[in-house]
Amino acid sequence: MPPTRNATIPALLLLASMAMPADAVEIDGRIAEGEWAGARHVTDFRLTQPLSREPATLATEAWILATEEGLAIAFRNAQPAGVPRNRQRGQRDRTGAVDRVNAYIDFDGDGRTGYNFTLSLSDSISDSTITNENRFSDDWDGIWTHAVTEDADGWSAEMLIPWHVATMRRAADGRRTLGIGLDRVVSETGERFSWPAVGFNEARFLSVLERVEVPAYSQSLLAVTPYVVGVHDNVAGSSDFDAGADVFWKPHGRFQLSGTLNPDFGQVESDELVVNFSATETFFSDKRPFFTENQGFFDVPFGSLNQVNRLVYTRRVGAPADDGNGAGDVRAAAKLNGSLGAFNYGIFAAVEGEEAGRDFYAVRGTRDFDLGGFGSHGLGAMVTRVVRPWLDRTANVYELDHRWASAPWNVRTTVVASDIEQAGTDIRDSGAQVIVDRDDGGAWRQQLYALHLGRDLQLNDFGFLERNDFNYLRYELGHRITSLPEDSPYSGHQWRFAGSTRYNDRGDLLANAVSVNRSSERRDGGNSFFDVAVFGAGKDDRITRGNGIVEVPEKLYAFYERYRPRRGHWSLYGNARYAAEGLDGADAGSLAVYVQPTFHFNDSLTFNAGMQFRHNPDWLLWRGGNLLGSYRANQLYLNAGATWLIDDRQELRVRLEAIGLDAEARQAWRVAEDGTPVAVDEAIPDFALRNLGFQIRYRYELAPLSHLYIAYVRGGALFEQSVGGRFSAIDQFSDAFDLRDDEQLLVKLAYRFEI
């Protein structure tokens, strides 16, 4: 009996789909079986949040397929009606605690540099670079294709990542080995299901991703992004126009060149307001497109375990000029990344104009070795140079790093030297650090960290180093707990216990310290964290800015934070901090409480208002020379805003920050020769400050990485002091809204042309 017409058509469609080439993957969020023929099929997803490595509680499967257009990845996520779905939309790189999937890709498979691509149920995206095993930076934005669909049984996600997003070494015999990790997060429970079964907060992450061999495809790309910006200053009554362009050229996978003329300074972004009277500089991330593109290769952390200290800090380029007259005028910059055989290399250069302009240069190379039973080794070296004619200063920094990984060990070593030539004087010094991690994948983890920073080590011409003249030794023991009772509000805990000691190069004991903290995942999808640290009595060799070392008593720090994800229309974040670091000891610390509720009007419109109150009865500040002052201070801080994602292309954002602070002088101190603070009857002024930052910003996406921005910005700051001033933080806070040092209307257009 011949087939009917209704039976013939599906049969022909099935045969056609089976005959489709592997490259014919349509990224529409619908996983058609024929499209993914020949793909790597992944089903063994395991719990990594909490980190039990048990099988996933909800069925999750994925497909990985290399095509000429890029690396295609698909997820099918079972999520029955009994598990609510969070469809909250988010700005780019701000997807939040929603249902989402992640792809982690190391295109060279050597554990050096990776990329994270996040796609949420609402089709919102985030992307970031990964360096040093698990150091994420969301400053980078790439171009990739994505789509999401859902049905009664779950939801599906597809993404296509072009080969031109990263440089890649030459392939062998037409094949390439990638490092790949996939995971899925369930917002309702906070669970994370991963393949392979490794969490991104473990000591080894990037280097233990699954090795997947694929055909070696290559793509070329030439993209030019010119921009124009016009600014009208309502305070000065003036207008200004500027223009520039970014260029990106990648002829093949082993080489890419990016350049910029008169680079965009991120005018449509704004830094957070901070109050900083300490001897340590405030760190700000970079938001300029050129300086974030493939910058991870130059990201060499050095000087601490935090995410701040580094050898190349791109905010130095275009920072306040050496003559003190405004910001440095960056005329042009270029960056080259590539590979020669097994060697990877990068070259960076930036030039500022005017007499007080500076020239910045960096060259870095890496080479990895796999020695079989002796583990994997990686070597890296970098040289940076900054020429500062106005100061008659040239700063050279030399760096060598080595990493060795052989389960359960991971060891990273860095040696740095600086050579500063200024006004005929040559100053040289060095530093080194070593990080030893032991993590066998079980419940326990150990880490040893040792750091030496020479007294004359100088890295801040191009890098960011909180301090020099420092020796630090720290041991940490970590313990994971995942087998909690079903009726517990927590699904897992990570405990960390640490002991440390700090000396300067003169042998002065700065402090011995012990600490304990616990980070916890909750079954409601939220999390909590607390930390307690006790510092013994020691010396402060920084507060007087070189005018004496101060004997200080013990210090006590305690911190707690809690995040509750969206339930109905509301989500909530809050924290509390106690910090005793003045001369009155551990029982006279500051207390700060911050609460930020967020109202989700719907999946596209949110309002948030965070408020902090801080009281410090013993705030110790430098007042010049060897004079210190103890203050009683109060501070009010507001962080509020709204985000309306009008549609897939349009976004309206309102952001408001305000600070009001008063500080009442309690006691003046002079530092004796032996470091003892001696109370003196000297008048020191009370002081107060207020600060305001306000922005309304509209963004329209013309095409990927092509935008029209219209922004209204207003802000200002006022610092005042007087003896017996008796200021009020509440008055300062309310008066902050009258500040109008700056008021600007900005229009910016940037369009990316691909050739």
- Enter the tokens of residue 655: 């952001």
Contact between 46 and 54 under an 8 Å Cβ cutoff? The reply is yes
Contact between 298 and 217 under an 8 Å Cβ cutoff? The reply is no
Question: Is the whole model's pTM more than 0.75, yes or no?
Answer: yes
**Other residues' Cβ atoms within 10 Å of the Cβ of residue 295:** 22
| Strand partners of residue 662 | 634, 688
Integer Rg of the chain from CA: 28
Contact between 629 and 667 under an 8 Å Cβ cutoff? The reply is yes
Q: In degrees rounded to 5, what are phi and psi of residue 208?
A: -115, 15
Contact between 586 and 118 under an 8 Å Cβ cutoff? The reply is no
Contact between 577 and 559 under an 8 Å Cβ cutoff? The reply is yes
Give the strand pairing for 686-703 and 677-680: unpaired
CA distances (Å), 268 to each of 241, 294, 663, in order? 15, 21, 33
Rounded CA-CA distance 219/163 in Å is: 6
Q: Which helix (H) or strand (E) holds 566?
A: strand 555-567
Rounded CA-CA distance 626/623 in Å is: 8
Give the strand pairing for 221-233 and 255-261: unpaired
E-strand spans in 216-373?
221-233, 238-252, 255-261, 330-340, 343-352, 359-370
Q: What is the pLDDT of residue 531?
A: 98
Q: What is the pLDDT of residue 271?
A: 81
Q: What is the pLDDT of residue 573?
A: 97
Question: b/e for 582-610, b at 16 or more Cβ within 10 A?
Answer: bbbbbebbbebebebebebeebbebbbeb
Give the strand pairing for 330-340 and 255-261: antiparallel
- Enter the tokens of residue 127: 């992307």
Give the strand pairing for 100-106 and 113-120: antiparallel
Q: What is the pLDDT of residue 23?
A: 55
**Other residues' Cβ atoms within 10 Å of the Cβ of residue 222:** 14
Rounded CA-CA distance 90/85 in Å is: 15
Please name the residues in contact with 544: beta carbons below 8 A apart, sequence gap of 6 or more.
550, 622, 625, 626, 628, 671
| Strand partners of residue 622 | 628
110-123: per-residue pLDDT in tens? Answer: 888 899 999 999 99
Contact between 197 and 46 under an 8 Å Cβ cutoff? The reply is yes
SS3 402: strand
Q: What is the DSSP string of 341-369?
A: TTEEEEEEEEEE-STT--EEEEEEEEEEE
Instruction: Using 70 as the pLDDT threshold, list the residues of the chain that sit under it.
Output: 1-24, 264-267
Q: What is the pLDDT of residue 24?
A: 65
Rounded CA-CA distance 564/300 in Å is: 35
Q: What is the pLDDT of residue 14?
A: 35
Q: How many Cα atoms within 13 Å fall on the side-chain side of residue 598?
A: 22
Rounded CA-CA distance 456/427 in Å is: 7
Rounded CA-CA distance 685/736 in Å is: 21
Identify the DSSP state of 523.
Answer: T
Please name the residues in contact with 218: beta carbons below 8 A apart, sequence gap of 6 or more.
163, 168, 252, 253
E-strand spans in 583-685?
590-600, 605-622, 627-644, 650-671, 677-680
* Closest C-alpha among 408, 294, 308 to residue 345: 294
